């Protein structure tokens, strides 16, 4: 599946953003404990899937059962797994996309999401949500969060399909959590950025 290098890159990205946050004093070093708890189950699923595929490739029985085009039945409907992260530095309760890899939509100016955001948190929300919460501009500056309010169809579709008003994406490009309304959004940001509590106190 070619996932060996991909898993290594995800490992490095996960640890790098956490180290940076601890070094900057934004989080205590307990955050580093979430590296293994998040990454281990994610990588394990890819390893187990690769082993199963290897057994299929090497199986004479499977080869004998292949269809006329030579493709073994086990491969016919194969889809690369998209496992979520294990428990860690993301919202887990009642948030089905938290801990999953974020989408890579194209914005109105044709740039890809990652190119527009850079290596930092990103808060995806509609222009209407930002208009209703103008204080988010100050929050974004304080926490170095990119506000992605582009009206591109791909972004609107992502929010609509998820049924939320905002999606918070981590620097390693996994979803930290979502907000279904203004109260959710305040709670999500306070949880993700503890320093905001001191700012508002």
User: In this predicted structure, what is the pLDDT of residue 37?
Assistant: 93
Name the least confident of 17-26, 34-43, 52-61, 103-112.
Answer: 52-61
Q: Please, how many CA atoms are within 13 Å of residue 36, restricted to the half-sphere of its CB?
A: 2
**Residue-level pLDDT at 164:** 93
Mean pLDDT calculated for residue range 70-91? 77
Residue 80 reports pLDDT greater than 80: no
| Residue corresponding to tokens 């914005």 | 107
Q: Write out the E strands in 9-155.
A: 121-125, 145-148
Q: Are 126 and 132 in contact, with CB atoms under 8 Å apart? A: no
The tokens describing 132, both together, are 């209703």
CA distance readout (Å), 12 to 23, 55, 132, 140: 16, 29, 37, 25
pLDDT at 159: 94
> pTM of the full predicted structure?
0.83
């Amino acid at each position: 599946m070619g996932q060996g290098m991909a898993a290594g890159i995800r490992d490095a990205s996960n640890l790098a953003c956490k180290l940076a946050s601890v070094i900057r004093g934004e989080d205590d070093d307990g955050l580093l404990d979430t590296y293994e708890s998040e990454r281990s189950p994610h990588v394990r699923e890819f390893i187990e899937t690769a082993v199963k595929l290897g057994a299929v490739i090497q199986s004479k029985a499977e080869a004998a059962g292949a269809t006329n085009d030579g493709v073994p039945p086990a491969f016919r409907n194969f889809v690369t797994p998209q496992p979520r992260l294990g428990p860690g530095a993301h919202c887990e309760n009642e948030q089905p996309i938290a801990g999953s890899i974020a989408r890579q939509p194209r914005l109105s100016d044709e740039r890809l999401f990652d190119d527009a955001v850079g290596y930092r948190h990103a808060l995806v929300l509609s222009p209407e949500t930002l208009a209703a919460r103008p204080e988010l501009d100050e929050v974004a500056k304080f926490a170095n969060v990119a506000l992605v309010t582009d009206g591109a169809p791909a972004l609107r579709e992502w929010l609509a399909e998820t049924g939320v008003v905002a999606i918070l994406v981590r620097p390693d490009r996994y979803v930290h959590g979502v907000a279904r309304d203004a109260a959710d959004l305040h709670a999500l940001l306070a949880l993700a950025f503890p320093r905001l509590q001191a700012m508002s106190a």
